[in-house]
Amino acid sequence: YGQILNVEAGLAELDTSSSCNSNELLDTIFQIRRIFWVGGNDIFSEGTWVWQHSQENLPLSSSRWGDDRPTSQTDMNCLVADGYYYDDTYLTDQPCSEERYFVCQILN
């Protein structure tokens, strides 16, 4: 995350104390049928998903995950909201080097 025009911003988080309206964001992503980076990763501990700004965990039991996601592949450490491949927007893991759209939020 960083500052843009003196406003602190970062990749969007879902269902955290500092998140944007998660349901509205996921609905919008599904309507435009794209894949977007959001602010979670398991870079520091494989299988432990953490939101970048709030440092809150994203439990593996969350209904936000797509079927059979996240994978256990060690090279897939960054989080996307996938509104393209499913019948709704779900979270999935991707290699951090992939080129994707991204969605940011203003942080408090």
* Widest distance between CA atoms in the chain: 40
Average pLDDT estimate for 3-20:
83
Q: Does the pLDDT at position 15 exceed 80?
A: yes
For residues 92-107, average pLDDT: 94
Query: What average pLDDT does this structure show over 64-83?
Result: 95
The number of residues making up the chain comes to 108
**Amino acid making up residue 3:** Q
Give mean pLDDT, residues 36-52: 96
Q: Work out whether the CA dihedral 79, 72, 60, 29 comes out positive or negative.
A: positive
pLDDT of residue 4: 60
